[in-house]
Copies of this chain bind each other. A is one copy, B any other.
Amino acid sequence: MSDGVPRVSHIPMADRPNDTGNCGIVEPRYYTFGERDDDPGVHLDCGQELRPVRLCYETYGTLNRDRSNAILLLHAFSGDAHAAGYHHPEDKGPGWWDMMVGPGKAFDTDRYYVICSNVIGGCSGSTGPGSVNPTTGRRYGLDFPVITIADMVRAQVRLIDYLGIDRLLAVAGGSMGGMQALEWASSFPERISGSICLATTARLSAQGIAFDAVGRNAIMSDPRWNNGDYYDSEPPARGLAIARMIGHITYLSDESMRLKFGRRLQERASAELDLFEQFEVESYLEHKGGTFVDRFDANSYIYLSKAIDYFDLVESKGSLDAAFVDSSCKFLVLSFTSDWLYPAYHSKEIVRALMRLGKDVSYTEISSPYGHDAFLLESERQAPLVSAFLNTLMREREADA
């Protein structure tokens, strides 16, 4: 490409045992903007301008000649740019959506150019509260501005501009990623042909806000949080672990937890009742909370959960009809039966608005025991629907060309 952007960032790793059709070894890339006075940063909903802005991103597959096969994946709350493949041959597991992204998979990297970037406010390579504030030379901490889902999308638009893509074939994401997919369709209708919105909502429920609030409270109650200023000392690991444990329960379901753990106890040291004896589900959650703190920043937890809570297309656009009246893309909306954090009725609210507007929307409620996490785990029914939706979009693009 003339702009120096490489079209392929992966090296096939076909001989990896028991994992055919993956994206091989991928390398994170970085795009930074807003460093020079004539290069704007992101004008945020809060009124501030964030600059400079660095975005960490990965790409899989090859951008075609007319740049019509690009898909932007939008990650969920604790996700990152590493959607597929491996960073190192010895990685324990692949990227977070490897089940869906790769050669021959739903997001078929033999056919599409797939991009995924870490959101602003995050802590996995993009500018967030753990980044250095250029005006102070110290980490932002709570000086980082409040960001919204729309702000995340504004930064993504800059990346797509940089990559030389006028119109994405599709944007796709679940949960917080689905919020971004909705925001793209509403605010940048001319930039996408399709929007894939999984396990998401146009506005989080009071119950969802409540869980987020308790998580933030747990972090802020940890003395090590120190009002967000902990980057030169020990991080608030206990508070963050508790927040993650709460979140994790809401991502699963009553059924999936019963199937996975039931009421099994960890192996007993003695036959006596013990206040500290753990059921398997307890030690699983503690383990999940404990490993999370190694990869996630507590301040990003606060900022990103607040962005999720604030997201409300009804409030920001006046109504769902107003939000989507200018959308010209096709929509694929999927919800999952056991998802109680983003229940199906939230998706149906979106679908009803789109149908009232005469938009092209497909909706399926997929039967799954996996709760909110289903969009990350359920490929058997999800993948064919996504694949067929993308195929239709691509054929129309090819017919237009």
- Complex Cα gap A282–B203 (Å): 16
What copy number does this chain have within its complex? 2
- A213 and B275 contact, Cβ closer than 8 Å, known pairs A260-B206, A263-B315: no
Distance between A257 CB and nearest chain B CB, rounded to angstroms: 4
Which of chain B's residues have a CB closer than 8 A to the CB of A279?
A: 206, 209, 213, 309
Distance between A308 CB and nearest chain B CB, rounded to angstroms: 12
- Complex Cα gap A203–B262 (Å): 10
A310→B245 contact, CB < 8 A = no
- Complex Cα gap A214–B241 (Å): 10
Chain A: interface residue total (CB-CB under 8 A): 57
- Complex Cα gap A309–B279 (Å): 9
B242→A282 contact, CB < 8 A = no
Dominant secondary structure at the A interface: helix
B217→A257 contact, CB < 8 A = no
Among B146, B261, B275, the residue within 8 A (CB) of A146 is: B275
Which of chain B's residues have a CB closer than 8 A to the CB of A258?
A: 205-207
Residue interface bits A292-326, CB-to-B below 8 A is 1, else 0: 00000000001100100110100100000000000
- A285 and B146 contact, Cβ closer than 8 Å, known pairs A207-B257, A263-B203, A279-B206: no
The 3 closest A-B CB pairs, nearest first, are A206-B257, A213-B282, A221-B238
Residues of A with Cβ closer than 8 Å to B?
Answer: 45-47, 142, 146, 148, 203-207, 209-211, 213-214, 217-218, 221-223, 238-239, 241-242, 245-246, 249, 252-254, 257-258, 260-263, 272-275, 278-279, 281-282, 285-286, 289, 302-303, 306, 309-310, 312, 315, 340, 343
